Amino acid sequence: MSSCFYCDRIQSADAAYTGRAAQYDLGSEAPRCAWHWRFICDCCGAAGHYMTRFFCPRAGQLFCGAAGSVEYRAAPFWDRHEAWFLRCPACGEEHASLDRAEFEGAHPWQMAPDARTERRWLSPEPYLQRYPPANVPTVRMETLSDADIDANWSRNADIWNATYDSQGDRTRKYFSDPVVFAFLGDVAGQDVLDAGCGAGYLARILAQRGARVVGVENARRFYELATAREASDALGIAYYHASISNMPFLADASFDAVVANFVLMDVLDYTTAVAEIARVLRPGGRFVFVITHTSTHGHWVAPAPDSPRREDRSGWLEDRYFVRDAGYSQWGALHPVLGFNRPFRDYIAACRAAGLALRDIEEPELSAQGRRELPPWDVREASRLAYNWVVRCEKAPATG
């Protein structure tokens, strides 16, 4: 007889806790006892993971998070650091999620023994439904053009840009930008190309640091956002709506540095783009690029797939690492994003072929500022995986 996945975890933090046998989801990675199974909300009738349910002793009702407003905050107990708290729609008080409620002795089955006997609110389903993963829509690379990539990013540009401030988003501000600035070195008085500049937050930072900046962006809508910002608050940045795979308007050997910030994994013809970047660099010029980490492209997997806890995710599912293809990924509020799956080595090979020598590689960790400013659960999550690569290459210096 297997023991309950969650009882085992609690026991590991409190040897006095009496664990129970598992009765639900038997044979899975996380078989569970009744206390740690799924409960039905009195408000909407939906069954959900016990940590997503809240008991109101005054109303004698069990609610899901959708019944009121929920806060996730620090609340150390057993092996946990945080819990959820529902502002109760019935009594106006705050009730903790059932995991924390059990610790406090405020679980409905602790407060009302007859409810425990009747197993009130317990969901009768014996197993979690594990549907086969949705078919990932694949796209035939041969049929794509930069115009398709433009259409896809233009559709997302305003939603994307809404998550930015003057320092970009969290990933840029707390992980990659500190490394990008270190790899670029001093840019004051230099010609710098922001290849695939989006709405231009980085172009603006570089201009504020004294660089003469050119931004090239393939998506019409991003280009419009960048030029509108330049029109209202000028920093002398020249923007072009074009593909970095074809930049005839930029002269050979006219830049001291090129940066491609989270761009190459979204570029269709990345080898030609890297060759164009090498062409416009001066001898000895530097090319710094950031891409999403090629080993963390997949999806999180968790033994209890219905758990709301991020720390219950056991690992990151990476698959098809060496497959080179195009496909859509879905994140946040964005429409599906069209991008490319390629092994990391392909980008390094493209640089080498274009005469750009590899000088440095970094996998940014959360910065000290991030450790201070982000919530504890984000700090812990940041320590689990590398999310980006940052690479510095150099064009051979002039000889003779």
Ligand X SMILES: C[S@@+](CC[C@H](N)C(=O)[O-])C[C@H]1O[C@@H](n2cnc3c(N)ncnc32)[C@H](O)[C@@H]1O
From the list 121, 222, 255, 340, which residue makes contact with ligand X (rule: CB under 6 A)? Answer: 222
CB atoms within 10 A of CB 382: 20
Residue 33 contact among ligand X, Zn ion, none, beta carbon within 5 to 8 Å by kind: Zn ion
Residue 44 contact among Zn ion, ligand X, none, beta carbon within 5 to 8 Å by kind: Zn ion
For Zn ion, the closer CB: 17 or 72: 17
Burial status of residue 337 (CB atoms within 10 A of its CB: 0-12, 13-18, 19 or more):
middle
Mapping DSSP to helix (H, G, I), strand (E, B) and coil, where does residue 308 land? coil
CB of 366 to ligand X, least distance (A): 18
Is residue 288 within 8 A of residue 183, CB to CB? The reply is: yes
Residue 263 contact among Zn ion, ligand X, none, beta carbon within 5 to 8 Å by kind: ligand X
Alpha helices in 174-262 (DSSP H): 177-184, 201-208, 220-232
Q: Which stretch binds Zn ion (CB under 5 A): 61-69, 192-200, 260-268, 297-305?
A: 61-69
Residue 36 contact among Zn ion, ligand X, none, beta carbon within 5 to 8 Å by kind: Zn ion
Residue 61 contact among ligand X, Zn ion, none, beta carbon within 5 to 8 Å by kind: none
Site size for ligand X (CB under 6 A): 22
- Give the tokens for residue 270: 């990345």
Residues 133-152 within binding reach of ligand X (CB under 6 A): 146, 149
By CB under 5 A, tell whether 334 contacts Zn ion: no
Q: What is the 3-state secondary structure (H, E, C) of 87-156?
A: ECCCCCCEEEEHHHHHHHCCCHHHHCHHHHHHCCCECCCCCCCCCCCCCCCEECHHHCCHHHHHHHHHHH
By CB under 6 A, tell whether 67 contacts ligand X: no
- Build a one-symbol-per-residue string for 279-298: x at contacts with ligand X by CB under 6 A, - elsewhere: --------------------
Q: Which of 264, 254, 255 is nearest to 289 (CA)?
A: 264
Q: Where in the chain does DSSP place strands (E)?
A: 38-40, 47-49, 53-56, 61-64, 69-77, 80-87, 94-96, 138-139, 191-195, 212-217, 238-241, 255-261, 281-292, 299-301, 315-317, 325-329, 337-341, 356-362, 388-395
From the list 23, 43, 151, 311, which residue makes contact with Zn ion (rule: CB under 5 A)? Answer: 43
Q: Which of 34, 37, 61 is nearest to 47 (CA)?
A: 37
CB atoms within 10 A of CB 97: 26
CB of 168 to ligand X, least distance (A): 6
- Build a one-symbol-per-residue string for 186-215: x at contacts with ligand X by CB under 6 A, - elsewhere: ----------xxx--x--------------
From the list 109, 153, 239, 287, which residue makes contact with ligand X (rule: CB under 6 A)? Answer: 153
Sign of the alpha-carbon dihedral angle for 97, 101, 106, 110: positive
From the list 261, 307, 341, 388, which residue makes contact with ligand X (rule: CB under 6 A)? Answer: 261
Residues 186-225 within binding reach of Zn ion (CB under 5 A): none
From the list 219, 225, 350, 351, which residue makes contact with ligand X (rule: CB under 6 A)? Answer: 219
For ligand X, the closer CB: 53 or 286: 286
Binding interface with Zn ion (CB under 5 A)? 4, 6-7, 33, 36, 41, 43-44, 56, 64, 66, 88, 90-91
Binding interface with ligand X (CB under 6 A)? 146, 149, 153, 168, 196-198, 201, 216-219, 222, 243-245, 261-263, 266-267, 273
